[in-house]
Amino acid sequence: MNTLQLKLGDKVGVFFYDDWRGSKAIIDEVIHISSSGTITLKNGTRYNRNGREVGALGEATYLCTPEKAQAIIDKASAPPQDKEVIDTVDPLEKRRAKATQLAVKSAIQALNQYGWYANVDGHMDVMESEIKQIIEKYVSEHEPIS
């Protein structure tokens, strides 16, 4: 953003972040512009001619257009999506899948540890799928003990 084109009283956007933390921006008013392009906003924050906050101790904020700031504000104020709606898998089904996966992995590791390795014919892969089927059948027929 070119700060030399701004005038006193203009509205500008201040961009904080738009990432995994969420989204944050505000809209503020210009109260002073120096000849070098440094501007001061109504809240007292100063920005250099490139639109970067002057003297920021942590993560610096940046100037942006009011339209971009309004879009980020709207995004931040939108209601979050329900994770329950997205996540329709039964928790017990997740436990069964995880238990099956770990049991098959442990069985194959034990065989490998004592000298039965996968060979080029794929016999170990067939045995792995058979072990998986046996364990899946067991966990589907029996409930976990609490």
Query: Do 62 and 8 have their domain in common?
Result: yes
* Three-state DSSP string of 36-62: CCCEEECCCCEECCCCEECCCCCCCCE
Query: Do 70 and 100 have their domain in common?
Result: no
Query: Do 14 and 68 have their domain in common?
Result: yes
The more confident residue out of 35 and 82 is 35
In a domain, 146, yes or no: no
In a domain, 59, yes or no: yes
Non-local CB neighbours of 15 within 8 Å, separated by 6+ positions = 25, 61, 62, 63, 64, 68, 69, 72
Taking the model in full, what pTM does it have? 0.52
Last residue of a domain, one of 28, 51, 77: 77
Which pLDDT score, from 0 to 100, does residue 83 have? 53
Q: Hunting for tokens 């505000």 — which residue is that?
A: 26
Query: Do 20 and 50 have their domain in common?
Result: yes
Which pLDDT score, from 0 to 100, does residue 136 have? 93
Query: Do 55 and 106 have their domain in common?
Result: no
Query: Do 97 and 39 have their domain in common?
Result: no
Query: Distance between CA atoms of 140 and 110, rounded to whole angstroms?
Result: 24
Last residue of a domain, one of 77, 112, 130: 77
Query: Do 88 and 68 have their domain in common?
Result: no
Query: Do 56 and 104 have their domain in common?
Result: no
Which pLDDT score, from 0 to 100, does residue 45 have? 92
Last residue of a domain, one of 36, 55, 77: 77
Which pLDDT score, from 0 to 100, does residue 76 have? 85
Say yes or no to pLDDT of 15 above 80: yes
Query: Do 8 and 68 have their domain in common?
Result: yes
Give how many domains the chain has, as a whole number: 2
CA dist 146 → 98, 99, 135, 143 (Å): 16, 14, 19, 9
The parent domain of residue 95 ranges over 84-141
Which pLDDT score, from 0 to 100, does residue 85 have? 53
Where do runs of H (alpha helix) occur along 1-146? 66-77, 83-86, 91-113, 123-141
Which pLDDT score, from 0 to 100, does residue 134 have? 94
Each residue of 90-124: pLDDT tens digit? 788 888 999 999 999 998 888 888 887 766 666 77
Each residue of 38-93: pLDDT tens digit? 899 999 999 998 888 998 888 889 999 999 999 999 888 877 665 555 556 678 88
